[in-house]
Amino acid sequence: MGKAMLEETLQEKIKSGENIFVPYIMAGDGGLDILEERINFLQECGASAIEVGIPFSDPVADGPIIQEAGIRALDNGTTLAKVLETLQAFKANRTIPIIVMTYLNPVFVYGVDRFAKDCTNAGVDGVIIPDLPMEEEHIISQPLSNHEIAFVRLAAMTSPKQRLTELAKRSEGFLYAVAVNGTTGARTSHDDKVQSYLKELKEHAEVPVLAGFGVSTTEQAHALSNHCDGVIVGSKIVQLLHEGRLQEIHRLIEGSILAEVSS
């Protein structure tokens, strides 16, 4: 488990000719008692790894769909501690890497060292903290490293070239390339600058580069995967899960991981 498992799993997908597909789900949306069921379903659909979101009252990087899912989860009494306890309860039954996405405040309140230790106990392989700037990442990077958990960095198109290069070199597990200027949520298309941005990140990253934010269709997944190693899909997955449209999720994942769109 941990960073090695995450990186090995993703590299195996690349070697097999597949595009990487990482779905995002909001823990506690619909209740924590269905978290295992949802993770198993996404694994069966062909997901490469799963990003598990921790609900937070001020999710600055999230669009309306994920914000609403977070509110539902908080109303269900979901906490960081309960999510980690739930993940730990069925970690022996999982084979797919798990990445926890949370904001810094819940981790700081929980206790950074305790968080890293409990992530290990829960079988968490990687952590994403979108509101933690590179200059302050020492707050969490060393404790995660001590427990062999990947610290996944995010890169934004608005960042200077030197900063993007440094983020690409530092990232573990994979590099999360934010493919829009804005919050999460479906987009009809992506900026023309995205291609050169992804290409530049690929030149410097030692881990797979995955594009996220605004990806909601197989066509978008393929268009972006042509310039990186795969995609992360959040809002669309969260919406379809909430509405019980499981077959659409299966088609989205199955179609996106193929190297080429079937004719």
In 54-143 the beta strands, taken as DSSP E runs, fall at 98-101, 126-128
pLDDT, one tens digit per residue, over 186-197 is 444 456 688 899
pLDDT, one tens digit per residue, over 78-96 is 999 999 999 999 999 999 9
Task: Say if residue 49's pLDDT is above 90.
Answer: yes
pLDDT, one tens digit per residue, over 52-83 is 999 999 888 788 999 999 999 999 999 999 99
Q: What is the pLDDT of residue 79?
A: 98
SS3 153: coil
Burial 67-88 (b: 16+ CB within 10 A, else e): bbbbebbbebebbbebbbebbb
Residue with tokens 């994403």: 128
Give the residue among 19, 30, 21, 34 at the shortest CA–CA distance from 55: 30
Judge whether 119 and 100 are in contact, CB under 8 Å.
yes
Q: Is 85 a catalytic residue?
A: no
The active-site residue, picked from 7, 18, 29, 51, is 51
The gap between the terminal CA atoms of the chain, to the nearest Å, is 38
The active-site residue, picked from 7, 29, 62, 125, is 62
In the chain the beta strands, taken as DSSP E runs, fall at 20-26, 50-53, 98-101, 126-128, 150-152, 154-156, 175-178, 209-212, 230-233
Q: Where are the domains of the chain?
A: 3-255
pLDDT, one tens digit per residue, over 149-171 is 999 999 999 899 999 999 999 99
Please name the residues in contact with 239: beta carbons below 8 A apart, sequence gap of 6 or more. 65
Average pLDDT of 3-12?
96
Task: Say if residue 47's pLDDT is above 70.
Answer: yes
**Alpha-carbon torsion angle 203, 254, 173, 162, nearest 10:** 30
Q: Is 172 a catalytic residue?
A: no
The architecture of the domain spanning 3-255 is Alpha-Beta Barrel (3.20)
Residue 85 phi, psi dihedral angles, 5° rounding: -65, -40
Judge whether 164 and 175 are in contact, CB under 8 Å.
no
d(CA 47, CA 64): 24
